Amino acid sequence: MYQVAVYGKGGIGKSTMSANISVSLAEMGLKVMQVGCDPKHDSTRLLLEGRAQTTVLDYVRNVPVGRRKLEDVIEVGTSGVLCTEAGGPEPGIGCAGRGILTTFDTLKKLGAENLDTDVRIYDVLGDVVCGGFAVPLRGEYADGIVLVTSGEFMAMYAANNIMKGLSNFDTGKPRLIGIILNSRGVEGEDETVRRFAKAAGTEVIAVIPRHKLFSEAEASGHTVREMFPESDVAAAVDSIAQRIIDVRDGKVSAVIPTPLDDDQMSDLAAGREIRPGCGNSIQARSGCSGCGRRNSIKETNVMSSCAAYGAVAAYLKIEDVAVVIHGPASCMYLMDTARAKSVLELFSRGMYGSRPNHNLFCTMMDDSVSIFGGTELLERTLRDVVSRGYRDVAVVTTCMPGIIGDDSRAVVKRISDENPGVRIDLVEADGDVAGEYNDGFMMAADNIVGMIDTSIEPEPGLVNIIGTSFFDLHTRAHAEGMTRMLSRFGLKENCRFLDETSTDSVRGFCRASFDMMINDTAGCRELASKITEHTGREPFPVPVPVGLYDYEEWISMVGRQMGMQEEASKEIRYIEGEYARFIREHAPRFKGKRIIIMNKLTHNVDWLLDILLDLGADIVRVGFVPSPRKAGCTIVSRHFDMITENYDTDQLEVDLDTLDPDLLISDLSRPVRGRCRSARFSKIGVGALPVLEYAEYLENVMRLPKDEGWKGGRKV
C-alpha cells in the first residue's frame, strides 16, 4: 500500500484536492482509502454526498474498547473510496494533535492495516503546528507528500514550514512528490510559486484553475472529478493522480526538499532573486520561561490508577530490569510511593531474602518540554541507564509524551541499535485512551512474555505459577502453605509469572514441566493466554485451589499427572476428615444466618459459597459488580444459578433494607449504617485449610453487635 499525505495552509483547498484525487485514483482502478486528519472532520464530505460521518475520536470517547469495530468508523464513498475522519476534542480543551495519534493507533488496533487498499490519502490540518499533526509525515505513514499552495505569501510560508517538518522526520528517502498550485488569481501567481518550488528543490506538478465547477460540485455534495469528468479541472486532477502512481511505481522520483530560510522567504515575498540558503540545520531551542501554572477549566472524573502505572508495576516485579518513566517527576513520585508501601510491607514480613532493588528512573519532563518535545530527555536517560550496566530496560510513556507527539519508538530503536546486547522494551501507555492499571499491566506483559526462551526443554519436578496478583501468597504462612502443597508431589516452583522474579527466571520459564494459574480470574486467564500464544504451552486445567472441592479436584489431577494417585487419595482422606470435624463444630453459629456477598469479579467465590452452604448459612444474594475492563467476560461458577450479574450499590441498598441480612461480605467500600455486620475478603491463601480459618473470622464478626465499629459508617 502506498501512502500519501496532503498538506497545506488552512483553507487552501486540501480537502477538496484530496477528495478529487481519491476519486481519480479510484477511477483508474486503484483501491483507495481517505483519512481526514482535521478536527473540522469535513475531508470526506464530498465523497459521501455531503454527509458528515462518525469520527474516530467521537467513537473512541463513546464506545468501550471491547466493543469497537473497524466498520463503525469507515464508510464507502464515491467510486468505492473508503472514508474515515479523525475528528477532534472539544474546542479549547485537550490537544487535537494528540487526537491524530489516537486515531492512527485506533485504526491500527482495529485492523485498518489489513484492509485491501492500494493507496491511502491523509488529508491533514493546515500548518504543522505540533508533533501530533506531524505524525503523517513519519516514514511509517507517508511514502509521499503533496503540498497544496497558492501564490499568497502565507500559503507558501505554510508549505515551507511543512517541508521543515518533513526534514525533521527525514527517513533518508525522497518523499516530496511536488506542489499543487491551487490558483487564487493573485498577480504573477504561477511565476511566484514556480520560483518557490525551484528554490526548495521541487516542482509544481499541477495548476488547478479557479473555476465555478468547484462551487457547483460542492453545493451538491460531490467532487468535480465525479460530476464533470471531461472538464479541464478533472484533467488536472487526473495528472496529479497519475503522478502519484508514477512515483509509487518508480517511474518518476520524489525529492528531499531544501526549505527556505527567513531571508530567502523575504526575497520571495519582495519579488527579488532568491539568494542562496544558509543550510537546513535545526537550531537548538531554549526552554520557555513563560510557561506558568494552569488551572482546570472543566471538571472530569479522575482515573484511580493509569495504564502507565500498571506497566511500571509489572516491570518492577522483575528485580534486574531498569524501568524508565518517560514523563514528569510527579508521575514517578506517585507511582513509586504506591509501590514502596507494598514492597516495604512484604519486606517486613520476610518475603524477601534481601532488601529489594529499586531500579526506577525518570526523564523528568517539565512544562517547557510539552512545547519543544522530550525525545532528547528520553535519549539522555536511556544512555545513562545503559552506562550503569543494565541489560534489560523498559520504557513506559506517560500522558505528556503522547500529547506532544514524542517519537519514543525512534529513540528506543536508536539506542537499541547502538547497544546490541541491551534489550529495551517500550510500552506506550500514555493517556487515558490506553486505559487503567490493568490495561497497562497487560501491555507490559505482552513484552515480558516475549522474553521467555521457548527453546529450553522442560525438566521434571518444576512448576510455574501464573497470576496478575499473588496477594494471597504474600504472607509467610500462605507461602509456606503453597510450598507444602507442591512438595507432597515433589514439585518446586520454577517461576512466578508475574511476581517478584528475575529476567533469568522469566527466560527459563519453559524449564518447568507444567504451568498453573494462581486463580481463575479474567486477568489471570488473559495472562495465561498470552503465554500460550508465545510458547504453545497450555496451562494446567485446574488453577491453584482454594477450598475443599477445588483442592480435591486439584490433588486428584496432579496425582494422575505425576503417577502418584495413592498419595493423592491419602491427602484427600485427611483433608475431608479435618473439614467434616470443622463443620460439626461451627455449623451452629452459621445455621440460618442470612448473608449477602458482593464481588467485583476479582475473586473466585466458589470456595466461600461452598463453606457457607456446608455450614448451613442462608445466602440471600451473590452480586457480581460490572467492570468496564471485564465487559464480555463469562462468569464461571459451580453456583451460577445463585449469582446476580450486573449488580450495583443501588441494588445493595435495596437488599440491605428488604432482605435483612445478618452479614455482608464485600470487596467494596460501602457504609451499611448499622443495618448488618460486615466483613471483607482477605488473604485466604491456598488449599482447603485456610478457608476454615476465614470461616472462623466470619464467625467472630457475627458475634459483634451491628452498631459496633464506626457507628454507622463502617466500610466493607
* Catalytic annotation, residues: 9, 14, 40, 127
Residues sharing a CB contact under 8 Å with residue 532, sequence separation 6 or more, in sequence order: 538, 539
Helix (DSSP H) and strand (DSSP E) numbers for the chain? 24, 20
Q: 202: buried, middle or exposed (CB in 10 Å: 19+, 13-18, 0-12)? A: buried
DSSP string for 229-268: TTSHHHHHHHHHHHHHHHHHTTSS--B------HHHHHHH
Angle subtended by helix axes 689-702 and 565-590, to nearest 10: 10
Lookup result for grid cell 479557479: 210
The dihedral over CA atoms of 283, 285, 286, 287, expressed in degrees to the nearest 10, equals: -170
Strand partners, 464: 495, 515
Distance in angstroms between the alpha carbons of the first and the last residue of the chain: 56
Looking from the CA of 52 toward its CB, the CA atoms found within 13 Å total: 11
| Separation CA 615–CA 586 (nearest Å) | 7
The closest of 70, 75, 165 to 124, measured between CA atoms, is 165
DSSP string for 148-167: EE-SSHHHHHHHHHHHHHHH
Give 372's DSSP letter.
H
| Separation CA 44–CA 23 (nearest Å) | 11
Lookup result for grid cell 459521501: 48
Give yes or no for a contact between 398 and 367, defined as CB atoms under 8 angstroms apart: no
| Separation CA 614–CA 612 (nearest Å) | 5
Strand partners, 479: none
- Cα–chain center distance at 456: 31
316-335 exposure pattern, b = at least 16 Cβ within 10 A, e = fewer: bbbbebbbbbbbbeebbeeb
Q: 23: buried, middle or exposed (CB in 10 Å: 19+, 13-18, 0-12)? A: buried
- Amino acid identity of 356? P
Starting from the edge strand earliest in sequence, which strands make up the sheet with 618-624, in order? Answer: 643-644, 618-624, 594-599, 663-666, 677-680
- Cα–chain center distance at 118: 28
Residue 269 vs residues 56, 157, 183, 258: alpha-carbon distances, Å: 40, 10, 17, 18
| Separation CA 491–CA 463 (nearest Å) | 7
| Separation CA 665–CA 595 (nearest Å) | 8
Residues sharing a CB contact under 8 Å with residue 8, sequence separation 6 or more, in sequence order: 14, 126, 147, 148, 149, 155, 158, 159, 162, 182
